[in-house]
């Protein structure tokens, strides 16, 4: 494997300054957006007790197979997120109340690292001095600063990203989050003290290994890491489409404030 990666690194696209060129549209192919931990297929994200085992919660019952969760080997190193006991209880409560609590449902910005492995492509725009990330989901964007501006002035959904190079690996330190984003659809949460260190390394000219290490002393007993490959979109006309989903959730979020509310 080391030989293959080493050979591939000699073939990856590079800028005139010799740094790897990550320009392109990328996408994860993974079930991590359902649950970053290893998990079996199950009826739905919200379950209730049935006469012979778990069944979908009533609000998700009519979704049938569309509301089911496919199994996944997980992307968490070691298999499980090291939650503190109270934080694990909140994670379980989030799962039971997924329909009301998941920020994705209301089209809130996804945060990092969740934006990377949602089932939507994202684009990296790079020159010799700057990086810009654009995500199809919710029109989310972020700049990567290569000169540290100091602590973020305010907490935000996508945080503040500061980059550096370690050889041919792009390393991005992200901080300044609010506490509202999740890591997936399974209630995995964090506090506003979360810090994420991302690493982007070419495996082949069209595959990038993505790693992210999460540190949050208020929620986790120790730092933990995820890793998964990102794939270059190869279609001739590959591009980000418009998915500014705020307009799609206006009825859900604000419909009750209509002069004559519609049935819910």
List all residues 6 or more positions away from 3 whose beta carbon is below 8 Å from its beta carbon. none
Task: For residues 96-113, give the mean pLDDT.
Answer: 96
CB 136 within 8 A of CB 243: yes
Distance CA 65, CA 42 (A): 10
Residue 234 has pLDDT above 80, yes or no: yes
pLDDT above 70: percentage of residues in the chain: 96
DSSP-assigned letter for residue 168? T
Q: What residues pair up with 143 in beta bridges, in sequence order? A: 132
How high is the pLDDT of residue 11?
86
Distance CA 142, CA 114 (A): 13
Distance CA 193, CA 110 (A): 17
Task: For residues 145-162, give the mean pLDDT.
Answer: 95
Q: Give the pLDDT band (50/70/90) at residue 4.
A: very low
Exposure of 161 in the CB half-sphere (CA atoms within 13 A): 21
Q: How many CB atoms lie within 10 A of CB 254?
A: 9
Residue 76 has pLDDT above 60, yes or no: yes
Q: Phi and psi for 24 in degrees, rounded to 5?
A: 150, 180
How high is the pLDDT of residue 263?
87
Q: Give the pLDDT band (50/70/90) at residue 217.
A: very high
C-alpha distances in Å from residue 139, one per residue of 32, 127, 136, 169, 242: 21, 21, 5, 26, 8
C-alpha distances in Å from residue 33, one per residue of 8, 132, 170: 28, 23, 23
């Amino acid at each position: 494997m080391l030989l293959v990666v080493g050979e591939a690194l000699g073939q990856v696209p590079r800028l005139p300054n010799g740094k790897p060129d990550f320009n392109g549209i990328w996408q994860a192919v993974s079930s991590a957006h359902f649950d970053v931990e290893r998990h079996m297929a199950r009826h739905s994200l919200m379950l209730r007790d049935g006469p012979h085992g778990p069944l979908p919660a009533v609000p998700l019952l009519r979704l049938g197979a569309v509301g089911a969760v496919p199994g996944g080997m997980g992307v968490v190193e070691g298999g499980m997120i090291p939650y503190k006991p109270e934080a694990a209880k909140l994670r379980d409560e989030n799962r039971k109340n997924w329909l009301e609590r998941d920020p994705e449902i209301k089209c809130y910005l996804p945060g990092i690292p969740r934006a990377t492995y949602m089932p939507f492509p994202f684009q990296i725009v790079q020159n010799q001095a700057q990086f810009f990330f654009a995500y199809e989901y919710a029109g989310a964007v972020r700049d990567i600063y290569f000169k540290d501006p100091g602590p973020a002035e305010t907490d935000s959904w996508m945080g503040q990203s500061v980059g550096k190079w370690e050889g041919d690996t792009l390393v991005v330190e992200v901080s300044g989050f609010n506490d509202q984003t999740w890591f997936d659809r399974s209630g995995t949460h964090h506090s506003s003290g979360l810090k994420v260190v991302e690493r982007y390394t070419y495996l082949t000219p069209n595959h990038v290994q993505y790693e992210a290490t999460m540190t949050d002393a208020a929620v986790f007993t120790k730092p933990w890491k995820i890793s998964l490959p990102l794939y270059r979109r190869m279609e001739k006309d590959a591009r980000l489409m418009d998915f500014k989903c705020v307009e799609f959730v206006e009825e859900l979020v604000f419909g009750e404030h209509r002069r004559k509310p519609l049935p819910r």
